[in-house]
């Protein structure tokens, strides 16, 4: 134990940049890294978790920080939550113009529940509509009390575009890391988390890993829940080949035997058998694509293809939110990579829609889809895909005919009866009664029969409707003999 303690060294913090869509998370990282990643993202938003290592100068000392750029759109809730668990510190980016938004509230809940240290970066302070005090008040209403407002949560006012206040934010991150005293032992085998995984047709399955402790070297084996890979090459976040990596570094390992589960813990081993044993013990049975159908038994079937496993997980997470008591989204097949003939054949069996996210469509698949009248829709922006499914669900939802009570009346007197036609008088107790309304007849609160209003008049003038408190005379067609004291309840059938 003593030797282990002597090997402990300060570990650079892993920082999750979190916030509502378009509040400036990626722009902030762009400024820090002096790159332009945002322009490359569809719609200018981050749609995967991306890990970057930056070297920042604070008080003359060069300090390393690993940043996780997490998606801000609500569709990536599950991805964002993984980012929070993988990270040591969260930076909550809030626009000084727009203030606290729904995703901001989700993130606040996430970091507070995980008891994660976090810093507020109040962005866009250079904008004309910026209102710093209002945002601080909004944060306070959601249990985030920043420094200077009766709390201890660090806050930095910044402009991610111009860089104003960014050095002060980096100082706060380093200060927070020093307070937390993140440690690691470089002599141990590496362990950490799987951040992302995808499939390269030429190279096979790759995974982005964040090392939280120990060191990763070529020649070892890495294993996670149900998957393992021999470490033949290590790429850093720039795509450069390196021989060794240590804690807090993001690395890419290629050559997994199967998809490593995003968000799962990985460990490294010197022997293949040990790696296989760990993967086997950690493995859990994958949930089936089948879902519980609503009482109507109606489902909207989808074949889903995405560019990465992280995207697949996030889209599936969001699609499940669309389920209701009338119809459910059912993913009958899912995978990463281009849309192929196999996907079209799967869709034909269930007459389902083929959805692609940031993927291409094989020419042969297009031909087959046209021949078999299978619809293919591809998207580069996640919320466009979700909105399309929402619209299609509305079209596919079965209509339900519901009986709605529109008014009730008490019968005060009966005048005549000729076969099934009866002339009666009464007063409307509530609502409105209209000509041709079907009615239900109640006697001493018990249902006794049905009828239909054929004619109505009030104050000896014919009318099409009678409202609350008005007295009336009417002709009702009913096989049930109506008596004074009965209650007539007018109903109408409504589609829902």
Per-residue pLDDT of the chain (496 residues; tens, 9 = 90+): 344 467 888 899 999 888 876 677 778 887 887 744 444 545 443 344 467 787 777 777 888 888 887 654 444 455 556 665 788 898 999 988 888 888 788 888 888 887 889 999 999 888 888 888 899 998 999 889 998 888 889 999 998 888 888 889 999 999 999 999 999 999 999 999 888 888 777 788 888 899 999 999 999 999 998 899 999 999 888 788 899 999 888 899 999 998 888 788 899 999 999 999 999 886 654 444 455 566 556 888 999 999 887 788 778 888 888 888 788 899 999 988 889 999 999 898 888 899 999 899 999 999 999 999 999 999 988 878 989 999 998 888 877 778 899 999 999 999 998 888 999 999 999 999 999 999 999 999 999 999 999 999 998 899 999 999 999 999 999 999 999 999 999 998 887 6
CA of residue 195 relative to chain centroid, distance? 17
191-282 in CATH: which number?
Answer: 2.40.30.10
d(CA 210, CA 11): 13
**CATH code 2.40.30.10 region(s) in the chain:** 191-282, 401-495
Produce one character per residue of 172-187: b if its CB has 16 or more CB atoms within 10 Å, e if not.
bbbebbeeeebebbbe
C-alpha Rg value of the chain to the nearest Å: 32
Contact 92, 107 (CB under 8 A): yes
d(CA 457, CA 414): 15
Q: Residue 417 pairs with which residues in a beta bridge? A: 422
9-183 in CATH: which number?
Answer: 3.40.50.300
Class of 401-495 per CATH? mainly beta
Half-sphere exposure of 196 (CA within 13 A, CB side): 26
d(CA 90, CA 118): 5
**CATH code 3.40.50.300 region(s) in the chain:** 9-183
The model scores a pTM over 0.85: no
Contact 377, 356 (CB under 8 A): yes
Class of 299-396 per CATH? alpha beta
d(CA 208, CA 228): 13
Angle between helices 102-113 and 77-86 (to 10 degrees): 40
d(CA 393, CA 33): 42
């Amino acid at each position: 134990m003593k030797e282990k303690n002597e090997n402990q060294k300060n570990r650079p913090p892993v920082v999750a940049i979190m916030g509502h869509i378009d509040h400036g998370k990626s722009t902030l990282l762009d400024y820090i890294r002096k790159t332009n990643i945002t322009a490359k993202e569809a719609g200018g938003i981050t749609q995967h978790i991306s890990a970057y290592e930056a070297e920042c100068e604070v008080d003359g000392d060069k300090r390393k920080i690993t940043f996780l750029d997490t998606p801000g759109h609500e569709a990536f809730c599950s991805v964002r939550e993984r980012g929070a668990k993988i990270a040591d510190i969260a930076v909550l980016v809030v626009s000084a113009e727009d203030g606290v938004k729904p995703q901001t509230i989700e993130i606040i809940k996430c970091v507070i529940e995980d008891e994660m240290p976090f810093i507020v970066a109040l962005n866009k302070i250079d904008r004309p509509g910026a209102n710093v005090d209002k945002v601080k008040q909004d944060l306070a209403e959601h249990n985030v009390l920043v420094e200077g407002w009766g709390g201890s949560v660090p806050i930095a006012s910044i402009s991610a575009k111009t860089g104003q206040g960014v050095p002060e934010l980096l100082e706060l991150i380093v200060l927070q890391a020093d307070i937390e005293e993140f440690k690691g032992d470089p002599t141990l085998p590496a362990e950490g988390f799987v951040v992302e995984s995808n499939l390269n047709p030429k190279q096979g399955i790759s995974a982005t890993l964040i090392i939280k402790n120990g060191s990763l070297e070529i020649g070892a084996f890495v294993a996670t829940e149900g998957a393992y890979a021999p470490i033949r090459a290590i790429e850093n976040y720039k795509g450069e080949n390196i021989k060794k990596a240590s804690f807090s570094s993001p690395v890419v390992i290629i050559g997994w035997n199967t998809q490593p589960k995003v968000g799962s813990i990985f460990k490294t081993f010197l022997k293949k058998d040990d790696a296989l044993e760990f993967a086997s013990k950690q493995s859990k049975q994958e949930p089936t694509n089948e879902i519980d159908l609503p009482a109507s038994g109606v489902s909207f079937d989808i074949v889903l293809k995405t560019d990465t496993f992280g995207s697949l997980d996030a889209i599936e997470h969001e699609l499940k939110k669309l389920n209701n008591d009338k119809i459910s989204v059912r993913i009958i097949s899912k995978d990463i990579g281009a849309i192929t003939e196999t996907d079209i054949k799967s869709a034909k069996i269930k007459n389902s829609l083929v959805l692609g996210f940031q993927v291409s469509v094989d020419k042969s698949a297009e031909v087959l889809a046209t021949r078999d009248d299978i619809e293919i829709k591809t998207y580069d922006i996640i919320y466009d895909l979700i909105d399309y499914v929402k619209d299609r669900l509305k079209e596919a939802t079965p209509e339900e005919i519901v009986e709605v009570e529109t008014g009730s009346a008490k019968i005060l007197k009966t005048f005549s009866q000729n076969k099934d036609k009866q002339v009666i008088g009464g007063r409307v107790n509530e609502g409105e009664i209209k000509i041709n309304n079907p009615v239900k007849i109640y006697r001493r609160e018990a249902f006794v029969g049905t009828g239909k209003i054929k004619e109505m008049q009030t104050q000896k003038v014919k009318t099409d409707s009678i409202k609350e408190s008005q007295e009336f005379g009417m002709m009702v067609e009913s096989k049930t003999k109506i008596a004074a004291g009965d209650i007539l309840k007018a109903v109408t059938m409504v589609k829902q």
